[in-house]
Amino acid sequence: MHVSSTDVYGYPTDPKKSTTPKKCGLFYADSKVAAEEAVQECGARGLPATIIRPVTIYGPGSESIVKEFVTTLRRNQMAYIGGGAANAGLCYVENVIDALLLAAQHPKASGEAYTISDDLSVTWRDFLSTLAKIVNCRPPAVSIPFPLAYAAGWVMEHATPSGSQKRPLLTRMAANLLGKSQNFSTERARVELGYVPRVGFAEAMVAVKAWINQGFP
């Protein structure tokens, strides 16, 4: 089994219609496409493999989505992109595990690819405002239009010295993630695997809060 991500779709305008990987010129996303191609090549040679494409995974232990966002909120450096109106495409970690187990146990899953999410209407504004309330911070007070955020990400990426261990404050990938809808369809996983998200947003954020209150172990 190979866990990829919906980055393979290249941040499309209409995610619901996205079923085929497409390179978009961003190294991280394109590396995911290349990894899937390698897995499929092995599959063609007889190695059983199923590709799982989760959207944005979050929950206790999440460094990039929970811990990093909390840190940025506490520094008052977080901003909405496009008003925070984009569907966040969240996928709680336990729901991802459920999908992995279903795929591993399904006799017809080998050689197939499935998109996995919680199928929520939660936007980034919803997520960040909830997270801000949990840590007693103000939610973002600034919103950056998507085209401006994407351009700023390009500038910051190219202004960062090669080999630097410090990541730019904003990248094109972050602009795409926070500024474009991640509402990908999970219909195939539901129909073929019987996948149904078990943990909802409210319950998931209770678990996130408990982890944060432990002091980010």
Which residue reads 């929950």 in tokens? 59
Q: Identify which of 181, 116, 157 has the alpha carbon closest to the alpha carbon of residue 27.
A: 157
pTM: 0.91
Give the torsion sign (CA, 54, 204, 12, 143).
Answer: negative
pLDDT tens string, the chain, 217 residues long: the values are 788 888 999 998 889 888 888 898 888 899 999 999 999 888 888 888 899 999 999 999 999 899 999 999 999 999 999 999 999 999 999 999 999 999 999 988 999 999 999 999 999 999 999 999 999 999 999 999 999 999 999 999 888 877 777 778 889 999 999 999 999 999 999 999 999 999 999 999 999 999 999 987 5
Q: How far apart are CA 203 and CA 180, in angstroms?
A: 25
- Contact of 116 with 192, CB cutoff 8 Å: no
Q: How far apart are CA 32 and CA 6, in angstroms?
A: 9
